[in-house]
Amino acid sequence: MKQQLELLWELQKIDLTLKRIKEERDRFPKEIKKLDEKQSIEKEKIQKEKEKVESLEKERKQKEKNLSLEQEKVKKEEARMLEVKTNKEYQALLNEIEAIKNVTSREEEEILQILEEIDEVKKDLSKREKEVTTTIEKIEKEKKKIQEKMDQGDGIWKEQKERREALSKQIESNLIKLYNTLKEKRQGVGVVNVKKETCQGCFVNIPPQMFIEVQKTNAIIRCPNCNRILHWEGDGRKK
Ligand SMILES: [Zn+2]
């Protein structure tokens, strides 16, 4: 019976590993998807700032074009001054030139402001780009790690499945049946260790006499609380 229990214990460990890998196969692709999303959000941040620089540049060009048109106008009006005959006409022209000059100086100021803003955004952008590059590198690393774990899991899965197959043949069919039933009812755990008179499946104390029986490993003994098969791993080793 001792040997049967040990085989069953090994089977349990394999089943827990398989269970973990199964959960990972469900979880890892979701984690990778989340990381992908994070990555595109980071890239978007940069994209938005680049677009802002572009639109500011466009605005600047437009304003410069306007400015040179206004400056042309001033030149033309100034040329007309030479042809003016009356004082009244002269004064009118002067007023007109003055008005245009007001406009152009305001436009010049606006262009300067835009240039400053472009500088500001560009400075921020290059800082941001560095940050985003670092973040993206980190994300890539995380994704790679998960991918490696997935590959590892696939390898372990195959190996453990084969071992399980072999083990199952060595365990009495009644015991396997009992184990499978318990496993299904109890979150994948049919056999548990006992430590310090406590079932490690439900953490309820078992009677001292029962604890002694478990240590003898002569019979299948089940936890009075959770019904699982109790396994004694010995004193020397830790769980
Ligand atoms: Zn229990």
| pLDDT tens profile 105-147 | 999 999 999 999 999 999 999 999 999 999 999 999 999 999 9
**Centre of ligand 1 from the C-alpha of residue 230, in Å:** 8
Neighbours of 171 (CB within 10 A): 18
For Cα atoms 166, 167, 168, give the angle at the middle one, nearest 5 degrees.
95
**Centre of ligand 1 from the C-alpha of residue 222, in Å:** 8
Write the pLDDT tens digit of every residue in 148-182: 999 999 999 999 999 999 999 999 999 999 999 99
User: Does 75 score more than 80 pLDDT?
Assistant: yes
φ, ψ at 105 (rounded to 5°) = -70, -30
**Centre of ligand 1 from the C-alpha of residue 237, in Å:** 21
Ion ligand 1 contact residues with beta carbon within 5 A? 199, 201-202, 223, 225-226
Neighbours of 149 (CB within 10 A): 14
Q: What pLDDT score was predicted for residue 182?
A: 97
Residue partners of 127: CB distance under 8 A and separation at least 6: none
Query: What's the DSSP call for residue 217?
Result: T
Q: What pLDDT score was predicted for residue 45?
A: 86
Rounded Cα distance between 180 and 176, Å, is 6
Rounded Cα distance between 230 and 46, Å, is 59
Q: What pLDDT score was predicted for residue 239?
A: 42
Write the pLDDT tens digit of every residue in 17-71: 999 999 999 999 999 999 999 999 999 989 999 999 999 999 999 999 999 999 9
User: Does 237 score more than 60 pLDDT?
Assistant: no
Tokens of 233: 């791993």
In whole angstroms, how far apart are CA 195 and each of 80, 198, 215, 235? Answer: 107, 5, 10, 9
Overall pTM surpassing 0.75 (yes/no): no
**Centre of ligand 1 from the C-alpha of residue 205, in Å:** 8
- Containing 159, the helix (H) or strand (E) segment is helix 87-170
Pairing of strands 229-231, 191-195: parallel
